[in-house]
Amino acid sequence: MEISTRALWTLIHGMGFGGLYLLACSGALVELWRRYDPAAPAPVSRRDETFMATYLLVMAGLAWLAVLSGAYIVYPWYRALPPPGTLDLHGYPQQLLIADPATSGWHELGMEWKEYVAWLAPMAITMAAGVYLRYKGQLRRLPALRNAVLGFVLISLVAAGIAGFFGAEIDDHAPVRGGAILHWMQKG
Amino acid sequence: MEPLESSPAHAAPTIPNGSGAAALLATGLGALSLALLSLTADKSPAIKDAMIFYAPTGPLSGVTTSAIGIWLLLWLLLDLLWRKREVALSRFAVLAFVLLLISLLLTFPPLAHLL
């Protein structure tokens, strides 16, 4: 069993940082909705506050790691240009996609949307974490602020979902491959 | 019933809502700057070239770095201005959310190509 370093980085970027971020979004939405509702019966304890602050900070970390690893590690491999006369475009995913009308949309719509929309997620969740660190349990007495934070977390989920969907499809049609091969298991 | 020290929201002094409004509005404007920079880099070859901060990543590097810089600077400035004040939070929250939605739409290539 083997994997190329580029494929491994794509996995770390998409399924690691991005996938974990998407999973974490639902938890943040539920917690902000349920526990910080002005009418919620139970008080917000110091333990709740520490948990929520840590949770949002970890989410922000995941979101930044996802976009930074995508933009500065995986994306340069994706958009690399082949030397003139190259016929086999499998090492050049962007060129491979746009060379075929049946797949060009994955770049022209998918990647061109994904490369920018993804950045809304770390911005929105960092804002949510910053607001939470400042107000903590007092979010309950500021329903407009709590609702706006919820809205931003929801938009960050949508943005990360768009990026994740197109990332998975693009990697399916023109995977980023190459670099050193890592052998995980060998027979004999 | 929980002890008082485990219910800090009820014990802590009330924080003015200005910081919250500053964070929301700065993020809405930061998101809009991201969308507008990506749009202008797409339309203007000169801006596209100027946005190449790191060649392997292309204009994406400059657009995102500039937008993040604008966002953080706005957040800092608005927070300094509003942190001790009560402001019209609902109005700023709606405005920030609308800006974020517009940004989301402006990054959608078919819509961006129409502009």
Could you read off the pLDDT of A88-114 as tens digits, one per residue? 998 999 999 999 999 999 999 999 999
State the CB neighbour count (10 A cutoff) for residue A33: 14
The reply to whether residue B93 touches residue A71, judged by beta carbons under 8 angstroms, is no
**Do the domain assignments include residue A70?**
yes
Closest CA to A159 of A77, A63, A27: A63
- Do residue A127 and residue B57 have CB atoms under 8 angstroms apart? no
Within 94-113 of B, beta carbons closer than 8 Å to A belong to: 94, 96-97, 100-101, 103-104, 107-110
Residue B110: Cβ-neighbour burial (10 angstroms; 0-12, 13-18, 19+) = exposed
Shortest distance, CA B50 to any CA of chain A (angstroms): 17
Structural domain that includes position A115? 2-81+88-183
- Give a yes or no: residue A39 inside a domain: yes
Residue type, A73: I
Q: Which residues of A58-81 are buried (b: 16+ CB within 10 A; e: fewer)?
A: ebbbbbbbbbebbbebbbbbbbee
Tell the residue number behind the tokens 């657009």, with chain if given: B63
Q: Which of A108, A115, A120 sits opposite B100 (nearest CB)?
A: A120
B54 interfacial to chain A (CB closer than 8 Å)? yes
Identify the DSSP state of A136. G
A12 inside domain: yes
Is A141 a member of any domain? yes
In a domain, A52, yes or no: yes
User: For residue A72, what are its two tokens?
Assistant: 């500065």
Q: Which domain holds residue B33?
A: 16-114
Decide the pairing of beta strands A2-4 and A181-183. Answer: antiparallel
Could you say which of B5, B24, B58 has the minimum Cβ distance to residue A79?
B58
What is the average pLDDT score of chain A? Answer: 94
Q: Per the structure, how many domains does chain A have?
A: 1
Residue B9: per-residue pLDDT:
53
Q: Kindly state whether residue A51 falls inside one of the protein's structural domains.
A: yes
Q: Most B CBs within 10 Å: which of A116, A131, A147, A155, as the mutation test of the B interface?
A: A116
Q: Which residues of A touch B (CB under 8 A)?
A: 43-47, 49, 67, 71-72, 75-76, 79-80, 108-109, 112-113, 115-117, 119-120, 123-124, 127, 130-131, 134-138, 140-142, 144-145, 147-149, 151-152, 155, 158-159
What pLDDT does B4 receive? Answer: 40
Residue B49 resides in a domain: yes
Which residue ranges in chain A fall short of pLDDT 70? 188
Q: Is residue A168 part of a domain?
A: yes
- Structural domain count, chain B: 1
Other C-beta atoms lying within 10 Å of the C-beta of residue A140: 20
Contacts of A176 (CB under 8 A, 6+ apart): A6, A7, A9, A10, A74, A77, A78, A93
**Tens-place pLDDT, residues B11-62:** 667 899 999 999 999 999 999 999 999 999 999 999 999 999 999 999 999 9
Is position A188 within any domain?
A: no
User: Does residue B5 lie in a domain region?
Assistant: no
Nearest to A71 among B5, B60, B103 (CB): B60
In a domain, B7, yes or no: no
Task: Give me the half-sphere count of Cα atoms (radius 13 Å) on the Cβ side of residue A49.
Answer: 21
| CA-closest candidate to residue A139, choices A26, A59, A28 | A28
Cβ atoms A150, B24 nearer than 8 A: no
Within 10 A of A120 (CB to CB), how many other CB atoms are there?
Answer: 29
- Inter-residue contact B68 to B26 (CB < 8 Å): no
Q: Is residue B28 part of a domain?
A: yes
